[in-house]
């Protein structure tokens, strides 16, 4: 799921245009939120001085057109794009943000994408200049732009295999209210999770289960046939019968008696994804490129964190020998390429089917015209009068001959084949993303190990070769 919202940014009272732009850019480019600037991407501008470039573009626009609306003028547009915790990496979120901005502005406006990772949910702040790159036109917000933003964001998420909001409500809540409610686990889910944990203790009776829940901070209250629970900090009780299938008193008594199996329903429980290992920064090389002492201090801290992550990864995955690491990296890379080839083959065939359907349609529509043309003895006059249809017919026939088709497939069979390929592609894409992330992390870990060991590329290749000969 990805949520979006578009907001025009005005100059406002008591601020200059320069101050207004700087305020929002400074917030979204906060180093503590963007991994010290690593998750900031500028297109059509330098992200480090984007506020100055947006301001100069606005001044040039006023000089070119003479148009200015003062305090009510829009200086930039801001979109917030938020993703489900644990579903996407910061780098991937930043890439999707850049793709969204490029497609929504059609490449006509400079923009900055800042990916924030200071909260459990990863989210993008996308800001583009209201003035186009030629400084003679402005982006005009339009009726229904919120839906257009959501539709494009959903399209990009689907194309890349991420979830979306299936049925958005017509009168949604504000971003802050939505985020605030999602940040806290609902009371019913807290109670379900407590029941799941209590059942792990194998209680011998219903009373034992209630006692375990009481120890976890849930107070049971029964009024007639209605059983409810209360916990410190809750305003209202949660009725037991409202927990849904698998959590009724009858079902849980059956679980305790060993008559059925309990299936947890923790759909809100999603641990934050561990940040992947990144490549170490070559501080000496960066200093030679002109980076200053401040960058060197940041890079040292960054490298220490990545070395610690690298060691943790090696220990957790039992890859303390270089040869084992090299072998696993090679296996992951090979698997990634295999899946990539499967996806490419499916996409190629889907493209062929699309073209073939077009040719079949054209062939059917122009067949009578071509028969008449043939009966006319391939008359030049007839050709001049029906040239477009005849050319379409010939192009379709040439395509069929190239494919060696003696009998044309039905449109229904092509639709079924296309749907099957699309379903297979969607099914394998989840594995593709998983394998890709694993391969990238292994390659980063391997590169970091080689650098820490002072191994050159020939040495690393020799180590891998020696392992393969054992």
| CB 175, CB 3: distance < 8 Å | yes
Instruction: Supply the pLDDT for residue 272.
Output: 38
Question: How do the domains of the chain map onto residue ranges?
Answer: 2-181, 187-256, 327-452
CATH number of 2-181: 3.30.930.30
| CB 20, CB 14: distance < 8 Å | no
With H, G, I as helix, E, B as strand and everything else as coil, classify residue 26.
helix
Q: How far is CA 304 from CA 278, 317, 325, 437, in A?
A: 11, 20, 21, 22
Q: How confident is the model at residue 467 (pLDDT cuts 50, 70, 90)?
A: very low
Q: How confident is the model at residue 112 (pLDDT cuts 50, 70, 90)?
A: very high
Supply φ then ψ for residue 272, to 5 degrees.
-65, 135
Does 393 have pLDDT greater than 70?
A: yes
Does 101 have pLDDT greater than 90?
A: yes
Q: What is the pTM of this model?
A: 0.39
Provide CB contacts within 8 A for 243, sequence distance 6+. Answer: 188, 191, 192, 195
Distance CA 246, CA 225 (A): 19
| Of 387 and 6, more confident | 387
Q: Which two tokens stand for residue 331?
A: 């296996």
Does 367 have pLDDT greater than 70?
A: yes
* pLDDT tens-digit map of 413-456: 888 988 888 888 888 887 888 888 889 889 888 888 888 777 65
Instruction: Supply the pLDDT for residue 256.
Output: 85
Instruction: Supply the pLDDT for residue 161.
Output: 83
CA 150 to chain centre: 14
Instruction: Supply the pLDDT for residue 173.
Output: 53
What DSSP string runs through 366-433?
HHHHHHHHHHTTS-HHHHHHSHHHHHHHHHHHHHHHHTT-SSPPPHHHHHHHHHHHHHHHHHHHHHHH
CA 323 to chain centre: 34
Q: Say which range, 51-60, 85-94, 116-125, 356-365, has the weakest mean pLDDT.
A: 51-60
| CB 299, CB 283: distance < 8 Å | yes
Q: Which two tokens stand for residue 463?
A: 């180590």
* pLDDT tens-digit map of 122-137: 899 999 999 998 888 9
* pLDDT tens-digit map of 243-287: 888 888 888 888 888 777 887 765 444 333 455 666 666 666 766
């Amino acid at each position: 799921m990805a949520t979006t919202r578009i907001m025009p940014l005005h100059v406002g009272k008591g601020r200059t245009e320069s101050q207004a732009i700087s305020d929002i850019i400074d917030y979204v480019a906060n180093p503590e939120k963007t991994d010290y600037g690593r998750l900031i991407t500028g297109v059509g501008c330098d992200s480090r001085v984007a506020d100055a470039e947006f301001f100069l573009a606005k001044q040039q626009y006023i000089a070119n057109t003479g148009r200015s609306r003062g305090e009510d003028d829009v200086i930039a547009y801001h979109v917030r794009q938020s993703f489900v915790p644990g579903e996407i990496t910061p780098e991937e979120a930043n890439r999707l943000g850049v793709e969204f901005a490029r497609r929504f502005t059609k490449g006509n406006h400079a923009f900055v994408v800042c990916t924030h990772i200071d909260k459990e949910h990863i989210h993008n702040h996308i800001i583009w200049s209201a003035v186009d790159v030629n400084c003679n036109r402005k982006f005009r917000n339009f009726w229904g732009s919120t839906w257009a933003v959501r539709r494009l964001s959903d399209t990009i998420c689907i194309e890349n295999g991420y979830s979306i909001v299936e049925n958005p409500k017509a009168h949604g809540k504000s971003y802050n209210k939505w985020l605030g409610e999602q940040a806290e686990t609902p009371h019913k889910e807290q109670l379900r999770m407590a029941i799941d944990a209590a059942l792990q203790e194998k209680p011998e009776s219903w009373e034992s289960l209630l006692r375990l829940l009481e120890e976890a901070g849930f107070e049971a209250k029964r009024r007639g046939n209605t059983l409810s629970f209360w916990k410190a900090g809750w305003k209202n009780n949660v009725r037991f019968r409202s927990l849904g299938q698998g959590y009724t008193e009858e079902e849980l008594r059956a679980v305790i008696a060993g008559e059925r199996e309990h299936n947890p329903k923790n759909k809100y429980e999603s641990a934050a994804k561990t940040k992947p290992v990144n490549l170490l920064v070559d501080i000496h090389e960066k200093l030679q490129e002109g980076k200053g002492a401040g960058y060197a201090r940041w890079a040292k801290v960054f490298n220490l964190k990545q070395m610690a992550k690298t060691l943790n990864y090696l220990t957790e995955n039992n890859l303390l020998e270089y040869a084992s690491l090299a072998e696993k990296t090679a296996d992951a890379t090979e698997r990634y390429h295999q899946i990539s080839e499967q996806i490419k083959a499916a996409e190629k065939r889907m493209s062929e089917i699309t073209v073939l359907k077009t040719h079949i349609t054209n062939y059917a529509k122009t067949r009578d015209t071509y028969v008449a043309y043939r009966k006319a003895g391939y008359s030049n006059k007839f050709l001049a009068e029906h040239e477009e249809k005849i050319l379409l017919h010939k192009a379709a026939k040439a395509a069929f001959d190239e494919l060696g088709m003696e009998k044309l497939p039905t449109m229904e069979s092509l639709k079924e084949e296309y749907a099957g390929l699309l379903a297979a592609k969607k099914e394998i894409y989840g594995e593709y993303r998983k394998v890709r992330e694993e391969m990238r992390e292994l390659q980063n870990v391997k590169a970091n190990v080689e650098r820490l060991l002072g191994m050159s590329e020939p040495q690393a290749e020799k180590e891998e070769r020696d392992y393969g000969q054992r």
